[in-house]
Each structure stands twice: as structure tokens, then as C-alpha cells.
């Protein structure tokens, strides 16, 4: 008996971009500024509904970087977010409201990955336990040195993240310019039909 796996739609969304020196993310990169798109993946599951892998930027970034020392983050990585690139606009174009998103898998806590979390009122969050634990007692200055803006996270983030998950083998690796604790996902095609 052959079963059919549920069809999951996957949409790659660019939710803003920033500019900063290329060498920050590319070993041997130039000192001049380069554009870095903030990406989010929308997965539409037939029974679980809309899920996201990261959120990209949101207008919350402006408020979170309005004061010093967080303003340094804005100066070093100026962000552009066109109205048509907002998560709300792109989801609405697919018939999905922000409140319809049930879960967000978070690769790590940099602004270009989490700035839209506050816009998702019904979402639960999945992040690595080490990332969640690293927030405890994190000062604004220490957060800034790690490129983390705690003001971007919902007040109930730790509870909504349900304790996090351990590092799954094969999904995490060190990425130049990113956190040592980063979830890197890949879609592997099924080579044979399900039985």
C-alpha cells in the first residue's frame, strides 16, 4: 500500500535587508558595505497551517535601536524594509493573517531573524535551549556585543518557546558572521515513495 505524504508549500520571503561590511559574514570579504537580505521561509502545512522559519526584519527594529547603545546596531547595519517586503504584506498576499501563524522555528536571535516575532500573537516559538538560556541576565550592552536585541523578543518569549530544543545532530554548525548556536535547516528530497 502506497501512502502519499502531505504536500507542504514552501515560500522563500525577503523581509527587508541590511548593509554592513562584507568581511563580517564572508571570510576574506571586503571592508566595503554589501547588502544582506533578511530571509524567512513560509511553510504551509495542510493540517498545521502556516509556520515560519525566522521572520526577517520588522518596524520593531527601529524602536529597539532608538536609544544608545542599541543605536550602534542601527548605524553599523542600516536596515531597509519596503512596505511590500513586510511579513504582514507578504503573508496577506497568500491569504494568511499574522494571527494564523502557529509556530516559528528560530535559527538564532539576531535582529534579521527575530524582529517580526512580536507581530505573531498566536505563534509558539522553537529555538535552541542554549539560545534561550543565554538570554537570562543578558544586559543591553552584552546583548549588543552578541548582536542580540532583547527588546525585539515578546515579553513571554521564554514561555512561548517552551523550553527550547537540544542541538539536533547535523542541523547546526558554525557560520562565519553568525552565532555558534545556529539552526541551519535543509530540505532533503524523498528518494523513494512512502510505504
154-180: average pLDDT: 59
Q: Enter the C-alpha cell of residue 128.
A: 535552541
Check residues 3 and 76 and name the one with the higher pLDDT: 76
What confidence category does residue 36 fall into, taking pLDDT thresholds of 50, 70 and 90?
A: very high
The percent helix, strand, coil of the chain (3-state, each to 5) is 25, 25, 50
Give yes or no for a contact between 51 and 103, defined as CB atoms under 8 angstroms apart.
yes
**What pLDDT is attached to residue 165?**
59
**What pLDDT is attached to residue 186?**
40
**What pLDDT is attached to residue 181?**
46
**What pLDDT is attached to residue 157?**
84
Amino acid at each position: 500500500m502506497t501512502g502519499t505524504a502531505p504536500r507542504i508549500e514552501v515560500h522563500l520571503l525577503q523581509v527587508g535587508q541590511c548593509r554592513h561590511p562584507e568581511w563580517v559574514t564572508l571570510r576574506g570579504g571586503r571592508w566595503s558595505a554589501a547588502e544582506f537580505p533578511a530571509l524567512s521561509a513560509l511553510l504551509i502545512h495542510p493540517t498545521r497551517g502556516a509556520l515560519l522559519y525566522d521572520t526577517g526584519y520588522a518596524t520593531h527594529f527601529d524602536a529597539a535601536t532608538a536609544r544608545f547603545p542599541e543605536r550602534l546596531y542601527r548605524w553599523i547595519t542600516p536596515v531597509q524594509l519596503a512596505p511590500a517586503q513586510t511579513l504582514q504584506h507578504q503573508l496577506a498576499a497568500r491569504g494568511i493573517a499574522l494571527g494564523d501563524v502557529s509556530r516559528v522555528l528560530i535559527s538564532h536571535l539576531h535582529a534579521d531573524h527575530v524582529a517580526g516575532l512580536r507581530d505573531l500573537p498566536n505563534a509558539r516559538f522553537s529555538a535552541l535551549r542554549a539560545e534561550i538560556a543565554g538570554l537570562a541576565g543578558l544586559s543591553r550592552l552584552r546583548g549588543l556585543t552578541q548582536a542580540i536585541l532583547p527588546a525585539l523578543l515578546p515579553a513571554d518569549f521564554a514561555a512561548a518557546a517552551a523550553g527550547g530544543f537540544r542541538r539536533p545532530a547535523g542541523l547546526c554548525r558554525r557560520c562565519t558572521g553568525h552565532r555558534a548556536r545556529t539552526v541551519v535547516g535543509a530540505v532533503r528530497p524523498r528518494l523513494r515513495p512512502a510505504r
